Amino acid sequence: MPLPTARERIGTVLAQRYEIVELIARGGMGLVYRGRDLRGRCAVVIKLLPASDDEQGEKRARFLQEARTAEKIHHPNAVTLLDHGQCHDEPYLVMEALDGQTLEQALSERGTLTPEHTLAWLLPVMGALSHMHDRGVIHRDLKPSNIFLHRDGSGATVPKLLDFGLARSESSSSLTRSGMVVGTPHYMAPEQASDGPVSSASDVWSMAAVIHRCLAGAPPFSSESVAALLARVAEGRAPRLRQRAPEVPAKLAAVVDRGLSSLTDRYRDMRQLARALALSAAADGVALPADPDPIGLPHFPEWLCGDGDAPPTESGLLPAAAAPGHALPLSLVAVLGALLTLWLLPWQPLAIEARPAAPPAVQAAAPPATAPRALAGEGAAGAVAAAGVDAGAGEPAPLQPASAPAPADPDQEVVNAPSPAPRVRSRRRRLTRSQILTPAPAAATVAPVLAGPEPEAPPAVERQDAAPAVGTGLPALRRQW
């Protein structure tokens, strides 16, 4: 019995559950139909590998490998595998139905995309690829036609990663024959074009090539023949993005150029590429999604805000001003602040209030230049008052300004003298009782010996009471007072 053609399959039911409604596309890996799940009563996409294919054996192995790979991927930005099996010896896959267009179709209509749209659509796909890489799966066929811009029920655009037909686990054996190159040459990494080992860095190069296509309007390499194109890609000398699109921000273009560099200079994985794109775009003033993918890029808000605590805006985009760049640890900032404060402080000795030292020309018992003269008779009490010594305790009495009250010692006269000069510390001399009672000779009066012209001392102000007579002794002084 001959097998039905692609058109003849429309209207039939696959595996007694999935009705085939419409042919969407056909390619090297089978037929793609729009269908309907009769049990779940929802739209689905059916991918079928006809049994009449001449290379059924190799394609069948790749088809089953795609099914096993898709079962590992559960991500909101990757197409969801609902079911897989075989019917009449023909393997099939059933996936969720998508509404919209591919990125290739959008680029054909618009030519180029703005950096905002490019990152808003591709950062979630990077999260899906990072999720795949964490499970040891390499896509190997990343290109605009394998990125679908799905419109969900709310009208929002949700990018979806498609086609895991060439995806391969890093730990599994390769289905590619020696010398056989698989993938799309325009978006194929140099090591993949030269039939070398592939890794997550190979998908990084392919993603950078897709970004280059979105911003510049053309892939990095082009040629008239596939062989010449593969040779140019294998050389690894991609043109600079700003040479073709000078309007692209400089820092963002530098990240794309590094993603297209050699394997040693390239970003190692998809998270490194996504982080570099986010930070460079924020520095260039390009608006970014606040949280494009919490699964594949869980630290995206922390990359931009340092603490991951930045509130989203009404449009869902995070302005570039919210990104502080490379934030220093708080402990390092505190240490630097303390060192800066110490460096700015003036290095001066501590100001200690001290009395000026006595000039070397002043004798031990010399009073200051403005010391008052002794009272009438140059008696013992007048000498004691002029020297500033308390007769009872033998301690120097402080000099009193003109407005100061009288001293507490009743044996000492009050002298209305001008404001004294800075106090000069002198040696203390104790007076005995006999010295106080014995009249002092006139030559024993203390004269100031300070250098310079001696200021005229004001006349002594006597109390209205009569001054005590010289030589009358301490009892006579007390009775007179």
Mean pLDDT of the chain, nearest integer: 73
CA distances from 328 to 280, 309, 318, 320 (A): 18, 16, 21, 18
Q: Could you tell me the pLDDT band of residue 473, with boundaries at 50, 70 and 90? A: low
The answer to the question of residue 453 being in a domain is: no
The domain boundary residue, chosen from 62, 97, 132: 97
Task: Kindly state whether residues 150 and 242 are assigned to the same domain.
Answer: yes
> Given this model, what pLDDT does residue 469 score?
46
The answer to the question of residue 338 being in a domain is: no
Look at the chain and report how many structural domains it folds into: 2
pLDDT single digits (tens) 196-245? 888 899 999 999 999 999 999 999 998 888 888 888 888 888 999 999 99
Structural tokens at position 221: 């390499």
Domain of residue 1, residue span: 1-97
Task: Kindly state whether residues 213 and 88 are assigned to the same domain.
Answer: no
CATH code of the domain in which 13 resides: 3.30.200.20
Task: Kindly state whether residues 112 and 249 are assigned to the same domain.
Answer: yes
> Given this model, what pLDDT does residue 217 score?
94
Helix spans in 39-102 (H): 56-72
The answer to the question of residue 316 being in a domain is: yes
Task: Kindly state whether residues 278 and 202 are assigned to the same domain.
Answer: yes
pLDDT single digits (tens) 320-359? 433 333 444 566 767 787 787 776 766 555 444 445 554 5
The domain boundary residue, chosen from 97, 129, 146: 97
Task: Kindly state whether residues 43 and 112 are assigned to the same domain.
Answer: no
Residue 155, pLDDT above cutoff 60: yes
pLDDT single digits (tens) 102-141? 999 999 999 999 999 999 999 999 999 999 999 888 888 8
Task: Kindly state whether residues 7 and 138 are assigned to the same domain.
Answer: no
> Given this model, what pLDDT does residue 143 score?
93
Q: Could you tell me the pLDDT band of residue 410, with boundaries at 50, 70 and 90? A: very low
Instruction: Give dist(CA 447, CA 219) in Å, integer.
Output: 107
> Given this model, what pLDDT does residue 175 score?
42
The DSSP line for 113-166 is --HHHHHHHHHHHHHHHHHHHHTTEE-----GGGEEEEE-TTS-EEEEE---SS
> Which residue, among 207, 110, 106, has the nearest Cα to 151 in the 3D structure?
106
Question: Residue 329 burial (CB < 10 Å; 0-12/13-18/19+)?
Answer: exposed
Residue 282, pLDDT above cutoff 70: yes
Task: Kindly state whether residues 235 and 105 are assigned to the same domain.
Answer: yes
Residue 468, pLDDT above cutoff 80: no
Q: What is the mean pLDDT of residues 171-191?
A: 62
pLDDT single digits (tens) 7-63? 889 999 999 999 999 998 887 678 899 999 999 889 999 998 887 655 567 778 878
Helix spans in 260-378 (H): 270-283, 300-305, 330-344
Task: Kindly state whether residues 117 and 74 are assigned to the same domain.
Answer: no
pLDDT single digits (tens) 423-461? 545 455 555 555 555 555 544 444 444 444 555 555 554
The domain boundary residue, chosen from 267, 296, 326: 326
Task: Kindly state whether residues 90 and 151 are assigned to the same domain.
Answer: no
Instruction: Give dist(CA 304, CA 284) in Å, integer.
Output: 13
CA dihedral 182, 272, 252, 266 (to 10 degrees): -50
> Given this model, what pLDDT does residue 60 score?
81
Task: Kindly state whether residues 65 and 155 are assigned to the same domain.
Answer: no
Task: Kindly state whether residues 247 and 310 are assigned to the same domain.
Answer: yes
Active site residues: 141
**Which residues are CB-contacts of 428 (< 8 A; sequence separation ≥ 6)?**
394, 395, 396
Query: 150 and 100 in contact (C-beta within 8 Å)?
Result: yes
> Which residue, among 199, 198, 221, 197, has the nearest Cα to 209 in the 3D structure?
221
CATH code of the domain in which 304 resides: 1.10.510.10
Q: What is the mean pLDDT of residues 287-303?
A: 85
- Residue spans of beta strands (DSSP E) within 313-466: 317-318
Instruction: Give dist(CA 162, CA 160) in Å, integer.
Output: 6
Task: Kindly state whether residues 299 and 165 are assigned to the same domain.
Answer: yes
